[in-house]
Amino acid sequence: MGLLSILKKLRSSPDKELRLLLLGLDNAGKTTLLKQLASEDVSHVTPTAGFNIKSVLSSGFKLNVWDIGGQRKIRPYWRNYFENTDILIYVVDCSDHQRLEETSTELAELLQDDKLRNVPLLVYANKQDLATALPASEVAQHLGLHLIRDRTWQIQACVATDGTGVKEGMEWVCKNIPVKK
Amino acid sequence: MIVFNIWSVLQWYLRPIIKWFLRKTTRLCELQRICYGEKAGAPRACGVERSLMLSRTQCVKEVVSYLDTVVYERRFVPGNFREILDPSISVVMRAKKINPKLHGSFIVSFRQCLEQIWSYRSLMDEVEEIRRTQFDSGNPEHEEKLLRLWSLLVPHDKLEKRVTKQWQYIGFQGDDPKTDFRGMGILGLENLLFFATEYPQASSHVLSHSLHPKYGYTFAIVGINLTSMAYYLLKDGSAKTYMFNAKRHLPNINLFHRFYCYLFYEFDKMWIESKPQDIMEFSIIFKKFENAIRTELADPSTVFRINIEIDTI
């Protein structure tokens, strides 16, 4: 199970099923991240039409990760998947300077949604292996993360294709699972 | 698990006994029984391949590994078939004590099986190499292919610039298709291009479906996902049924493209017939489609062809 063995720590939690929602623009690396989480081969990824879902079992814990396509045509459907989300994971391609603004706008819209209120946010600053990638701190600034007051958030630099930083992000996820009523 | 183990152990011991018994009663070796008894195409070629792979005869094993080496060195092309296959066939004939004078028709059909089996293996390498080639906007050849795809699919509209929203019309995700090929590399583009070139009617028919206001989908993105499906079917051997049953064609890159076109045409049909609510149903219908195709491929006698019928929706 590799990465997900860290979820053993979650045994104490009464809820055994978690819903993670992966969002971000197209070509951000959501599906690659999903495959990385499931310890699958990441070299044959294709663009997502619709969505992918993977459930990963780890120490009696069921992690349902929803990866929704990022292209503009699909974004209106994102809302249909908001309900009961435990953690929102937002993926940013840090080498795509031209669309930083677009990705900020999309994120800002997500954070305003009622259904996602108080849901902890993890931002993966992806593609750090590329020479043109902005560092995570700069991406955080562009996204205006420091202005967020209504939820816990974290930004994690990562390289989804080789797994660098992915585990650290998931560790943060584990520590910040909201206590369910 | 245990049952499986017992079975494989039993098979290891029983297979030679059964083979010996059949050999004595029919006076034919297993390869002959397959070549004479099975229908030409996938049933025969797959039977021969299985028999060769299970063989414990040293010189048969050597023939297999020799042919694999030839494929690895990219020399298994029709021009070399005689030179490569003649000695391989005589080695097998000698090992199996088959009289070439009495069994001329065996040689013909055995040769055809070898051509099919190792052309398929050669094709797997070729497809893998194309897939590994990433789309590169700095490569004029790649760029030319991309632009040609546009002009074939949308002949009445000119592309305003290289990077433009227009690409979304044929179902790419953004302004520049280059990031959409991803794990399928240039293979995704080659597949689409072949579909548009060789089946202009079918591809424009499918494209028009993809633009349907209610049942529309993203043509190019779905196409790239179908490339991935065709690639996996080739890789795990399921596509043998298709390739070996294609009359007059040995497995080669064009046949792979044709296989892809077949998949695209059939997927489109299933998609429209399913009357999906929106594109979010894609993964479910795609999985259903893959299962249907796998079921068809599992029957070695299935022959595939595109039945083009232009309907109006």
* ipTM of the complex as predicted: 0.85
CATH code for residues A2-175: 3.40.50.300
- Average pLDDT, stretch B277-298? 95
Q: Are A172 and A11 in contact (CB under 8 A)?
A: no
pLDDT in tens, B61-112: 999 999 999 999 999 999 999 999 999 999 999 999 999 999 999 999 999 9
Rounded Cα distance, A80 and B62, in Å: 59
pLDDT of B163 > 80? The answer is: yes
Return the pLDDT at B248: 85
Give domain limits for chain A: 2-175
Return the pLDDT at A4: 59
Q: Quote the percentage of chain B above a pLDDT of 70.
A: 96
pTM, two decimals, is: 0.91
pLDDT in tens, A125-138: 999 999 999 999 99
Say yes or no: A45 contacts chain B, CB-CB below 8 A: yes
Return the pLDDT at B312: 41
Is A96 marked as a binding-site residue? no
Of B99, B116, B104, B108, the closest CA to residue B45 belongs to: B116
Nearest CA in chain B to A45: B183
Q: Are strands A121-126 and A153-157 parallel, antiparallel or unpaired?
A: parallel
Confidence of residue A14 (pLDDT cuts 50, 70, 90): very low
To the query of whether residue A71 is one of the catalytic residues in this protein, the response is yes
Q: Tell me the chain A residues in contact with residue B183 when contact means C-beta distances shorter than 8 Å.
A: 43-46
Rounded Cα distance, B8 and B25, in Å: 25
Q: Which residues of A21-46 are buried (b: 16+ CB within 10 A; e: fewer)?
A: bbbbbbbbbbbbbbbbbbeeebebbb
Give the number of beta-carbon pairs within 8 Å between A and B. Answer: 67
